[in-house]
A and B are shown apart, each in its own frame.
Chain A
Amino acid sequence: MAQAAVHSFKTETLQREEAMPWLAPAAVLGGDNAPAWIAALRETGAASFAATGLPTPAWEGWQYTNLRPLTPEAFTFDAAGDVAAQDLPAPLLKDSHRIVLVNGRLRPDLGTPLPDGVKLTPLMEISEPEEELATVGSLAQSPLLALNCAYMRDGFVLDIAPHRDIARPIEILFMSAGNSPAVYPRVLYRFGENSGATLLERHAGEGMALTNLYAGIVLKAAARGRYYRFIDENGDAVHVSRTVARSHKSSDFQGFSSVSGVAAGRQEFGLELLDSGISSSIGGVYMLKGRQSHDFTILADHFEKDGTSVQHFKGVIDDQARAVFQGKIHVHRPAQKTDGYQSHHALLLSDQAEASAKPELEIYADDVKCSHGATAGMLDTDALFYLQSRGIPAAEAKALLVHSFLSETLEKITRDDVRALYAARIAAWLNAPVEEAAA
């Protein structure tokens, strides 16, 4: 016992020492006159992170993704980002509205006006936050969220007014620029009662960058939220994010994400079905090569009856890349008549590619339908030979098979133009190899 206590003490000391360099740049924030609630969250976050440091593979949920090789010295908090309008990528869709952030900071000069019924409020201008903004859950379990809190400054609340349908999509572009920025944005997308909107959240930029995003999504009763994420960063970027969609009665949430351009990434999605009659779905595709690694970690939490949740992911892994999928469906006792569906399928294109999957079901109600399926496999050699025997060169035949494998995940996306955006990313990955990702 005494031995164990000493060991534990040493471990904690070590963690404190490792945590401090991550927190040091936050000193920049001193004296910025942040509203009291933000100052308080920063303190709570910093204290929590100091006690844990980054998660190690010994942590529950972190067995397969190791962030420890990340060094804080490699990134600059509050990096200047000199970005002009002509440096921005073209809008994802014609006729969309646009909100632009550079290194986490809002840049109204680069965005477009927002339509009636949509309101954007910078975080630092909010003095009395609603509960859903100031509540973050248990930080001790979530060091990355704690770190995000410690740096709380950049971000906004986007409100869709009740009973409004916003016809044109709203693109939210997170650009990283300049000297290896570290950004910790916090955003809240709030769909008012019986409102509807399509959000395109896109992350892009050149060179090294660290993004640690917390995105809250609230769907009030009968709201219809579409949330499409595009991780278009380059092979040196690190992207970690947690997105929690809190759904209220009879609302409908559909989310999707594609990722191909990061050195390392982890996207956590929480689907919270807080009331009855809710539909909530999240899907994604990943395309990894070189030494890239990426992790999708999903929790669908059914609290009340008649809810449907869907998790549908596919990915392709080449070279020495690594992919992780952890998906859980948690059905609480009152959540009768729950429909929970989860699937993850990985295609391995090389002998050294790696896929780890951990499907979990935790069910306390007795009248539910839950299913999960997980596979990892190589390309079908019979199909490959069949295509080649018809004159299709091997490389083209492989691309055709991978494309059809991944495209299946897009079928549920209701907008044709958004589906085409994802299809284009799949096609681009198959035709043009990305630069070798940094180790």
Chain B
Amino acid sequence: MLKIENLHATVADREVLKGLTLDIKPGEVHAIMGPNGSGKSTLSYVLAGRDGYDITEGSINFMGQDIGEMEPEERAALGLFLAFQYPVEIPGVTTTTFLKTALNAVRKARGEKELDPASFLKLQKQKLTELGMDADMLKRGVNVGFSGGEKKRNEVLQLAMLQPKLAILDETDSGLDIDALKVVADGVNALRAPDRSFLIITHYQRLLDYIKPDVVHVLAKGKIQKTGGPELALELEQKGYADFYDEAA
């Protein structure tokens, strides 16, 4: 599904990713853990295709295609989804308008029929109920005046609506209290499927108590330093990232 090989990437001419290799198969949940400044968020932006994040070497293959040069919307149409660490506020665009425009854009790009308003509203209501969310937020500007928890829930709502092949969760746990964390984790777990993969980027092990990963990687100094099973997350929780700083020194 996602195959990253020897990825080097720069941000503002500074090399942040220095030869990262990763292989995620359909249905798998991978976690990438790492200290601050290890390149976690850079990886998520490079995968989503943000301007200013340049690939200098290596390749990203997603759903059988090299996506390195694709626009963000083309990657989304292929089925890539990034849940933002800091979801953006968009005043004046209601969440409903946003969801409908996004869903229909993606359906159109995939050669599917656009949803008529009634079918869209039905789907939206269903997802909202499943996630236990308040319909009020749909009428408000996207993320405007939302609490940290509401913003993250809105990300999960978008995830549920767009039904991507690969969802990257970038520090989705940051700033969430335990109840909000459970809601978000339940939402994600409900979406787990044999043909859908997840890449969970996190500093702490906490989220992984609720979303069980198949594979855990440690990212430091722009490279995967170690790969293991769920037990690696627990080990990191106890020992911290000191080992990887030492290696880096």
Contact = CB atoms under 8 A, between A and B. Distances in A.
Interface of A: 380-383, 385-394, 396-397, 400-401, 403-405, 407-408
B73 A408 contact: no
Contacts of A387: 90, 98, 101-102
A408 B103 CA distance: 25
B91 interface: yes
B102 A381 contact: no
Q: Which of A389, A404, A407 has the most CB of B within 10 A?
A: A389
Contact of B101 (A389, A392, A394, A407): A392
Interface in B96-129: 97-98, 101-103, 105-106, 109
Contact of A392 (B50, B51, B73, B84): B73
B158 A390 contact: yes
Contact of A383 (B82, B88, B102, B162): B88
A404 B102 contact: no
Contacts of B194: none
Contacts of A400: 93, 97, 101
A388 B92 contact: no
Contacts, number: 79
Smallest CB-CB A-B distances: 4 pairs: A404-B92, A391-B76, A391-B106, A390-B102
Given A385-B50, A396-B101, A391 B90 contact: no
Contacts of A385: 48, 50-51, 72, 88
Nearest to A406: B92
A388 B75 CA distance: 9
B123 to A, nearest CB: 15
Contact of B84 (A381, A386, A393): A386
B17 to A, nearest CB: 19
Q: Which of B72, B101, B105 has the most CB of A within 10 A?
A: B72
A393 B82 CA distance: 16
Nearest to B110: A391
Q: Which of A388, A401, A404 has the most CB of B within 10 A?
A: A388
A386 B88 contact: yes
Contact of B72 (A389, A396, A408): A389
9 contacts: A383-B90, A389-B82, A390-B73, A390-B102, A391-B76, A391-B103, A391-B162, A393-B71, A404-B93
A402 to B, nearest CB: 10
A405 B73 contact: no
A404 B84 CA distance: 22
Given A381-B51, A385-B51, A386-B84, A392 B90 contact: no
Contacts of A397: 73
A404 B76 contact: no
A393 B90 CA distance: 16
Given A386-B87, A404-B91, 6 more contacts: A385-B50, A385-B72, A389-B81, A390-B98, A393-B73, A396-B101
Contacts of A390: 73, 76, 81, 98, 102, 105-106, 158, 162
B31 interface: no
Given A391-B162, A392-B73, A394-B73, A386 B90 contact: yes
B152 to A, nearest CB: 14
B20 to A, nearest CB: 20
Nearest to B45: A385
A391 B93 CA distance: 16
B77 interface: yes
